[in-house]
A and B are shown apart, each in its own frame.
Chain A
Amino acid sequence: EVQLVESGGGLVKRGGSLRLSCAASGFSFSKVSMTWVRQGPGKGLEWVGHIKSYTDGGTTDYAAPVEGRFTISRDDSKDTLYLQMNSLKTEDTAVYYCILDADYFDSGNFYNVFDLWGRGALVTVSS
């Protein structure tokens, strides 16, 4: 079964750190790009960042609100994605989703989509 399972969420004080893990199974993890998206309480979806496969350079990109504080990494030997979150702010409180990126082809174009989502991990930052 293809699935993503996040872990590591919890309650942390403002200024603290937390690391989320995302265990992947049922697909070739090392070949795909992976993304983190978050959703604050009662709010919409916010892209956090992504990491490409090492075949595609292993590069990362981040949203401006987390740049310099969050780091996305991957361990292909463990089929696991990570999100290291430092200098946490109360506005980082959210459910964090781990996502498998996919490229769908149609009419000569490859369209990147958020294909498979984990159930999410809740991170609460207290003041």
Chain B
Amino acid sequence: DIQMTQSPSSLSASVGDRVTITCRASQGIRTYLNWYQQKPGKAPDLLIFGASNLQSGVPSRFSGSGSGTDFALTISILQPEDFATYYCQQSFSVPRTFGQGTKVDIK
């Protein structure tokens, strides 16, 4: 199974900050990497697919990068509605696996 490791597990940031979350795969997954955002009590929403493709309707302040084993999700200017937990997930092979999540909260 492919292990996905996110860092950090949590971070505190202020509105307007630039935030970067990283995700590392235990083996190469090319660009088969998705990012999801989950708010408390809600199901996750797809943000980015294929490592860098923004899902329709997702604000352009979100961006993704990387290929192979190392990936990143960046929020260029943090907004109040961005405080949430973010998960990476590989779609390269079965079983599908998620990172452990990164909680972004208010400093």
Contact = CB atoms under 8 A, between A and B. Distances in A.
B69 to A, nearest CB: 17
A35 B101 CA distance: 20
For chain A, the bracket of interface size reads 20 to 34
Contact of B49 (A50, A64, A111): A111
Contacts of B96: 35, 47, 50
A118 B43 CA distance: 7
Contacts, number: 64
Most B Cβ at <10 Å: residue of A97, A117, A118: A117
Nearest to A115: B46
Interface size class of B (residues with CB under 8 A): 20 to 34
B33 to A, nearest CB: 9
B37 to A, nearest CB: 12
A47 B98 contact: yes
Given A104-B49, A111-B49, A45 B32 contact: no
